[in-house]
Structures are given as structure tokens and as C-alpha cells.
Structure 1
Amino acid sequence: LLRGVQRLNDEDCLFLSGCLKNKPVTGEQFTIRTHIGTFTSLHFECNRIRQPVEVWKRFCFSLQGNSSLLSLRLSGNKIGNRGTMYLAHMLQVNTGLQELELADSDLATQSVIALTIVLKSNRSLRSVDISRPLLFSHQEEWAVHCSEMLAMNSSLVELHLGKMGLTDAGMERLTAGLRFNHSLRYLDLRCNRVTRDGTQHLAGLLKENPSLQIIDLSSNRLEDEGAVYLSEAISWPGCGLKECSVNSNNIRTKGLLALTEAMKANTTLTHVYIWGNYLEEPAFRELMSGGRLLPERTDVSAYEVDGRVFLAEVFTKLRRRYYSYPAAGETTDSPVCTLQLHRT
């Protein structure tokens, strides 16, 4: 694990591309290869690429035949539309990559759609993050293609769609595809524009499909009505939800009490994060005092001053990742080695 290195430039990235090919290399490249070994994880976030088209073309070409790399994190690089197209083409050939992070990488509508199309047939990826793309269309075409992908894909277990501008209409499209999906466990929808209507579509999905275990709805617009819809789904027999975040959703006492009652009815849900709403102490007093909600599984703590009980934020958050490689029960022939190349 290499730490403390400065951001890489174009020449560094092109040189690294040669090391990613699963074939013997000579000269200086061979010396570096023998020192780092065959690595299974490449953390390449936030680097300084000035000519992205040629660099990402070479980089993706080198990954086509790579069978050892399992995790690739490229978030914070200005990959852009054309660079992502090369990535999509690489994913049509590469059958080893299991985790791909492309958050804040200047993805446009065309490249997001291209990735979802590839994921219809890709059977190796388990976790994908395409949060915060540059989407200027209000038609949410990407949601239509993502819905079709989710209906066909049977390998993804984790999908991050934060800061996508997702609306209630987009949520309706996504849930339509998720009704046919039984592999996804973690759905990240934070920082979107989902209101009570979109939450109603999600609640209907949770009643029908018990596969989803973790949902991040923080920083949306659920309000009390959305929280009530979500609570009804949580109370539904067979709901598989285990962890949920509804931080900063303008939820008041009515919605929080509904969540409280839902947790009484459903013992599967063990982690709830609610800070950033209009909190009043009675909403969670009974759950906390009765041991139903453990202190380390929420972001709210109660304290007493002069006989009055107040609530304070605890800095425990919904986990950011669900999938880890190799997955439980899986093994890899190569020693697990992470190459981290970004500014820390």
C-alpha cells in the first residue's frame, strides 16, 4: 500500500498502463512490476490528467486483458464523456473487475447510458458508483436505461446513484426495473430530489422485493408523508431492510414516530440514521431505552440537563460500502495488494 504520493500526470498514467497488462514487461517497467507484484486493487482518485482522451484510451486498453485487478477507483478524475466510452468498451471485454468507482468524474448523459447498457451483460461487477455526473437533461433518460439494466442484471449487489438529480418520475422508473432484480443489496440515492411520491414507489418495491437490505435516502425531500410511506413498507411482513438513512429530509414528529412504530413491528431493521430532521425526544426515547435501537446503530444520542432531555448528533453514519473483495467464500490466486495513487 503506497501512501503520501502526489497526484499523477499524463506521463505517469501512460506508464502505469503498461504495468496493468497481464504479460511480461521489460526494462524499467519490469523493475517496478517486481516490486509491486500483481495488485488486485487500484486507487487512482483525484489525479492531474491534462489530455484525458488519449490517456484514458491507453489506460482502458491495458485493462481489457487484465484478469487480476478486482477493484478500480477512479473517482475525482476528469474522465469525461469520451474517456467513459473507452471504459464502457473495456467492460465489454474485461471479465475480472468487481468494483468500479466513477463518482465526480464528469460523466455526461451519453456515457452514463453507455455504462448501463454494458451492465446489462457484464457479469463480474458487484459494485458500481456513478454519483455526481454532469446531467443537463430533465428527461432522466439515464433512469430509463438504468431501470432496464437492473431488470436484466443479476450480479450487482451495490449501486451508488447519489447527486443524480433523481426525481419522483425517475424513482418510478428505477423501481419498475428493481422489481425484477434479486441481487442488489445496497442502493445509494442520497442527495437527490425524491419527495413523498417517489418514496411511495420505493415503498411499494420494498413490499414486493425483500432483496434490498440497505438504502441511503439522506438529503432528499421525504417529509412526514414520505416517512410514513417508508414506515408502512418497513412494517410489511417479509421486508428485508436492515439499514436505512433518512438524514436531512425535513421529517417532523409524525414521520419519526411512524418510523419508531415500524421498528417495533420489524426486528430486521437494526440501523436507522435520522439526524438533520426536526427531532423531538419522544420519537426515539422508547426505542433507545428499551434496547431496540443500540447507540452505535444510530446517529442520535439523548442527554439530560436540569431534568430536560435533549438530543445530540453522534458521528456514526450509514456505511459507505457493502461489497468487499474477495466476496465471502471467494478466493483469489494472487496476493491481495492495493496500489494507491492519489493525493492523500
Structure 2
Amino acid sequence: MVNVPSLVSLSIDAVKRELLHKDDLLSHVYELPPELFNSLVKCLPPLALQKLQSEMPFKNYDDYDSTSNDLKNGRKRGRNGNFETAWKALFKLRWPDLVKHVQSVDWQQIYWETHVQNCLDEAAELALLPSFSGCLGEIQISENIMKYIGYVDHMSNSGSDYLKLSYHCQQFGCYARCLRLQNVLCVAESCQLLRNSKLQSLLVRWIRSVEHADGLCKLLSQNCRTLTSLEFVHCKLSSSFMDAICGSLYLRGVETHQIQHFSISTSSFLEMDPVSLAHRLASFLNSGRSLRSLKLCDNHLDWNFAQRVFSTLLDASSGLSSLDLSENNIAGWLSNFNWRSSALLSPSGMTKSLQSLRILNLRGNNLRKDDAGSLRYALVHMPSLEILDLSDNQIEDDGIRSLIPYFTEASRKCCPLTDLNLENCELSSDGVTQLLDVLSTLEMPLNSLSVADNRLGRSIWLSETKRCRNGELDAC
């Protein structure tokens, strides 16, 4: 038997179509009883829902509740929850794999932000084609994306502004907080397209030309008051580019920026003299009073560069909580640090420290046993360190032995070390056994210890299993 649609469902379908094309019905829709209004909200496509919510005449989207008692009392309640539920459902329908990764209190914002990102990604693919020679804003958005937001009926009009990237950026760019941009989008035109955005996080890829660097700096300047996270991936950087970045992020009248998270990964540096670039980066770090995490990963950095960066952070008594220098080649970077090193003292004789550093990642840096010995003295000046990753470094048993005094001392602190990663460090069963002997006696045992991919043999696993059974080590 064929299901016959109800009068209510037919009416809702008609209203949905009218909302996409005209504004005449809006005033009447707002007068609907709560039950019908809520049913309509649940069925609207994104464009119609956007129009309905943005044109609401009631402050805070208030309306009378649906229960008879509440109607008699005239008590009002917010409709915000109904809209939020509808936006979350639309987000889940369009991006089912992303919804579990989103912790949002504003599903309307995250919906349109993700939509803008999809439009920009699609535009970048077309702009990268050798045959492309037009303006970014004129790029037409695909039928697939248009269907998701409810513009199916407009597809026959290929000249419609609704189909252009410029329309989507101008209408919904104000919801964009976090974006990822390919180099082809880092041009002056993008500043105009995203002029309504208040970016808080920006990730850029493949910046390799002056044109892209200049376009990016204009975009950074446009968002300098709101931007707190900046990431570079697969880029080529120079000291002049670093200077330009600093200049574009500085707040007007003061040489300081608000970046909290700064990352350069899988990139290269154009300078013949790495000291010059390190100096520019040091200037950037010095001007970042809010900096909380710094990631310089897989950039072919040498010991001199790493030493200068670390010294800069130390000199400034930085409030950094996370430092990632992984996948570089910085063996010898702490060769000047030892127990009587003047590098750890300020001009007044006070001990320098990284009081807030909680995470230190030195994975894959070609560190040797001598580096581990020097690291011991530097770690003492990181009193809040909780997570240390030394994996993929050939520090060997002697390196571990030189760090054991630090592990013992760290366990007595109010914020002791909790996670230690020593994978693929050329350790033998003797070295790991000695380490386990010490760890089992600590006042505060580790939460996590990884010694995988070392030449340990069967005996160490039998010993470790015994320790776990005896409760001598919390995490084996």
C-alpha cells in the first residue's frame, strides 16, 4: 500500500521551497505553533534554516513553549536548542565521519566553517590546473556541494552568483575560525574573499613564492587580532619571510603578537646561513608573550639552529608548555649545557628555566649517548615536564644510565614525569633492566613507558612481566 503524505508534511515541503526563493513567508512562519515550527526546523536544508534563523524577530529566538500550562502562563523559552539540534543533524548527514571529532557548542558555526573549507579545497584544485587563469572568486562550486545546502533548483542558471566561490565566502566566511589553505589561495584576492572572517587558526601548505608569501602576510595582518594558531607545512622559508610574518602579526603600535601555537613541519629553509634564519625565528619567539606550543618538525634543522632556539626560549623564561623538535638532525645541540654551564644562568646569576614546559619531543634527531648526558642537565630546568619522547635516537645504554639520576629526581616533584618513550634507542636488556630497577623504586611511577624496537631479548620480557604481576611498575 502506497503511503499517502499528510497535509502537514506537504505544507512543510511547500514552505521549504518557498523559503529558498522568497522572503514573503517568513513573518507567517514565525507565527506557527511551536509543534509545527519545530517540525519545520528539523526538515529545512541549510540555506533555508540559515535564512529562518538569521531573520528571527525574537531576541534569543524565544517562543512560547508547546505545553498548555506554559502557554497559559506565557512563559517563554529559547529556540536555540532546536536550531542547534537541526544544525548538528545537518552536519552529521553531510560529514558523518567528522561529527565524532567535533566538540562544538555552536553547530551552525562549525557547519558553515566546514562548508567554506570544502569550497576553498575545491577551488584550489581547479586553480592549480595549468589552464586556470581567472579570478578565484569566479570559480563555480560543484553541484554536489550545492545540493547539500539546498540550491538544487538554481543549478540550471550557470551564471547565478550562488554558484560562485565569492558568494560562499562572503555569505559564510564570517563563520570561519579555522582554515587550511593551499598556496594558490594565499593571494591578495583571498583577503577580499575572507574579509568577514575572524580566523583563530590557519594552516598553510606549499608556500614557495614571493607572491604567495605576500598574499599570506596580508591575510595574517587582516586577522592579527584573532589569530592564535599558525602552521606551515611543505613550505620554503627565508629570513625575509620570517620578518614579514612578524610584521604582519604584530599588533598595531607594539612589537608583540598573540600566537599561542606555532608550527613549521616538513619544510625547508632557503638561507645559506642558518644562523641568520635562526636569529629571525628567535625574534619571533621573543615577541610572543602568549606562545604555548612550538613545533619545528622534519625541517632538516642542525644543532646550531636548535641550540639558538632553545637558548632563546630559556633566556625569555618562556611560558611554553609543548616543544617539538622531532625528525631533525640536532646531535650536539646541548653540548654547551652541563651542571656548571653559564648558559643556564641569567646575567644576575639567577637560574633560567622553562617552568611551564610539559611536553618535550626529540624523536628521530640522531642523538647519541653524549647528547643524553647533556640533556640530563637541561631537563633539570624543566620542573613541570610530564612527557619526554627520545625514541629513534641511538643513545644506547650509556645514554640511559646518564639520565637515570634525572628520573629519580623528577619523581620527587609535584609534577613528576608520567610518560617516557624510548623506542628504537639501541638499548640492550642490561640497560633496560637497570632502568626498570630504578623506575620500580620511584615515589611516583610512570603512567607509560615504551621500549619497543630495541634489542632486548626474551629475558627482559619475562622480567618485566614479573614486575607487573608484583605491582612494582604501574605501566609495562
TM-score above 0.5, yes or no: yes
Residues 358, 384 of structure 2: 8 Å contact kept: yes
How far apart are the structure 1 equivalents of 2:210 and 2:355?
37
Residue aligning to 1:286: 466
Q: Deviations over 1:244-265 (max 9, x none)?
A: 1111110111221122123212
Residue aligning to 2:174: 37
Distance change (3 Å), C-alpha of 1:203 and 1:36: same
How much has 1:182 moved relative to structure 2?
0.8
Residues 425, 454 of structure 2: 8 Å contact kept: yes
Residue aligning to 1:276: 453
Q: Deviations over 1:40-91 (max 9, x none)?
A: 3334467455x52221222123213522233233222344554344224334
Residue aligning to 2:310: 146
Matched, 1:247 2:437: no
Q: Deviations over 1:219-278 (max 9, x none)?
A: 112100111122221112535211111111101112211221232122252111111111
Which blocks of at least 5 consecutive residues in structure 1 are unaligned? 17-26, 299-344
Matched, 1:191 2:364: yes
Q: More helix per residue: 1 or 2? A: 2
How much has 1:142 moved relative to structure 2?
4.5
How far apart are the structure 1 equivalents of 2:282 and 2:167?
36
Q: SS at 1:159's partner residue?
A: strand
Residue aligning to 1:230: 403
Residue aligning to 1:265: 441
Residue aligning to 1:165: 329
How far apart are the structure 2 equivalents of 1:198 and 1:6?
47
How far apart are the structure 2 equivalents of 1:259 and 1:43?
43
Q: Which moved more, 1:39-48 or 1:247-256?
A: 39-48
Residue aligning to 1:62: 219
Q: Aligned letter for 2:334? A: M
Residues 367, 394 of structure 2: 8 Å contact kept: yes
Distance change (3 Å), C-alpha of 1:101 and 1:207: closer
Q: Which has the higher contact order (CA 8 A, sep 6+)?
A: 1
Matched, 1:111 2:277: yes
Q: SS at 1:244's partner residue?
A: strand
How far apart are the structure 2 equivalents of 1:173 and 1:34?
56
Distance change (3 Å), C-alpha of 1:210 and 1:290: farther
Residue aligning to 2:235: 77
How far apart are the structure 2 equivalents of 1:61 and 1:10?
23
How far apart are the structure 2 equivalents of 1:158 and 1:271?
18
How far apart are the structure 1 equivalents of 2:363 and 2:384?
19
Q: SS at 2:268's partner residue?
A: coil
Q: Which moved more, 1:67-76 or 1:28-37?
A: 28-37
Q: Aligned letter for 1:238? A: R
Larger radius of gyration: 2
How far apart are the structure 2 equivalents of 1:41 and 1:198?
38
How far apart are the structure 1 equivalents of 2:421 and 2:392?
9
Residues 271, 293 of structure 1: 8 Å contact kept: no
How far apart are the structure 1 equivalents of 2:258 and 2:382?
29
How far apart are the structure 2 equivalents of 1:162 and 1:153?
22
Residue aligning to 2:209: 52
Distance change (3 Å), C-alpha of 1:8 and 1:153: farther
How much has 1:193 moved relative to structure 2?
2.4
How much has 1:206 moved relative to structure 2?
3.4
Residues 126, 156 of structure 1: 8 Å contact kept: yes
Residue aligning to 2:259: 97
How far apart are the structure 1 equivalents of 2:222 and 2:173?
19
How far apart are the structure 2 equivalents of 1:3 and 1:255?
51
Distance change (3 Å), C-alpha of 1:207 and 1:126: closer
Q: Aligned letter for 1:246? A: L
Tell me the C-alpha RMSD between the 2 structures. 3.4
Residue aligning to 1:181: 354
Residues 372, 402 of structure 2: 8 Å contact kept: yes
Alignment of 1:319-338 (within 5 A): none
Residue aligning to 1:126: 292
How far apart are the structure 2 equivalents of 1:238 and 1:91?
41
How much has 1:163 moved relative to structure 2?
2.6
Q: SS at 2:334's partner residue?
A: helix
How far apart are the structure 2 equivalents of 1:190 and 1:231?
19
Distance change (3 Å), C-alpha of 1:194 and 1:48: closer
Give the paired residue count: 281
Q: SS at 1:74's partner residue?
A: strand
Q: SS at 2:374's partner residue?
A: helix
Residue aligning to 1:211: 384
Distance change (3 Å), C-alpha of 1:180 and 1:208: closer
Distance change (3 Å), C-alpha of 1:222 and 1:133: same
How much has 1:181 moved relative to structure 2?
1.9
Distance change (3 Å), C-alpha of 1:285 and 1:96: same
How far apart are the structure 2 equivalents of 1:103 and 1:186?
17
Distance change (3 Å), C-alpha of 1:53 and 1:256: same
